[in-house]
């Protein structure tokens, strides 16, 4: 009985670990959906400049080349404070950001109440409808697909624990 309980608890632990990992992967790949919505609905815009960039490649499992890129940028708030930020993701750099020798002018969207939540203008969702499609629709499907194995492990482990709990009273009476 102790072995089956231990196996059920291990299954539950793997399910929880899978779910936490799925949410982390989803947030990393899709970005914070709440920040994206807040920026789409009420961002302030400030002039900024891209000060650095990089891109790298990785061999994919399918034999194709995968590109990763990042940019570092700064922008100034109306009160004069300078904010340094950056953005990274999959894909190639925009041509104007490759081989930066002088800062490249850009516009930065930010939240006035929390300027550390920002992005280059034009990236991310630009309207509620686009946010619903990208983050809720496509992002939700991606999240569900990632969560399914973890949910299955959790359900299986809980069922095994319940089955063991039901079996114990009948064994005690024998």
Judge contact between 5 and 172, C-beta under 8 A: no
164's CB contacts (< 8 A; 6+ apart) are: 1, 4, 5, 8
Give the angle 96-65-31 at the CA atoms, nearest 5°: 65
Per-residue model confidence (pLDDT) at position 165: 67
- Predicted confidence at residue 103, as pLDDT, reads 94
Residue 150 pLDDT class (50, 70, 90 cuts)? very high
Q: Is 33 helix (H, G, I), strand (E, B) or coil?
A: helix
Band (26; pLDDT cuts 50, 70, 90): confident
| CB-CB contact of 97 with 103 (8 Å) | no
CA distances from 28 to 23, 31, 114, 132 (A): 8, 5, 20, 18
Query: Which pLDDT score, from 0 to 100, does residue 116 have?
Result: 94
Q: What pLDDT does 169 receive?
A: 61
Average pLDDT of the residues in 120-146: 83
pLDDT tens by residue, 44-100: 999 999 999 999 988 878 888 888 899 999 999 999 999 999 988 778 888 889 888
Give this prediction's pTM: 0.66
DSSP character at residue 135 = I
Distance CA 127, CA 50 (A): 24
Q: In angstroms, how far is the first alpha carbon of the chain from the final one?
A: 15
Q: Residue 155: is its pLDDT beyond 80?
A: yes
Please name the helix (run of DSSP H) or strand (run of DSSP E) that holds residue 23, with its range, or none. helix 2-30
CA–CA gap between residue 31 and residue 36 (Å, rounded): 8
Q: Please write down the HEC assignment for all residues of 39-72.
A: HHHHCEEEEEEEEEEEEEEEECCCCCEEEEEEEE
Residue ranges per domain, the chain?
A: 2-157
Confidence check: pLDDT of 172 > 60:
no
């Amino acid at each position: 009985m102790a072995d089956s309980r231990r196996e059920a608890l291990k299954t539950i632990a793997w399910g929880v670990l899978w779910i936490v990992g799925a949410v982390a992967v989803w947030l990393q790949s899709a970005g914070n959906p709440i920040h994206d919505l807040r920026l789409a609905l009420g961002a302030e815009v400030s002039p900024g400049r891209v000060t650095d960039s990089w891109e790298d490649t990785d061999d994919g499992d399918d034999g194709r080349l995968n590109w990763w890129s990042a940019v570092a940028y700064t922008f100034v708030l109306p009160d004069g404070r300078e904010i340094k930020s950056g953005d990274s993701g999959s894909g190639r750099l925009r041509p104007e950001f490759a081989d930066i020798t002088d800062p490249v002018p850009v516009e930065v969207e930010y939240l006035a109440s929390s300027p550390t939540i920002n992005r280059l203008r034009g990236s991310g969702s630009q309207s509620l409808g686009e946010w619903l499609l990208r983050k809720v629709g496509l992002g939700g499907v991606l999240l569900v697909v990632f969560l399914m194995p973890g949910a299955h492990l959790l359900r299986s482990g809980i069922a095994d624990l319940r089955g063991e709990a039901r079996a114990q009273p009948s064994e005690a009476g024998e």
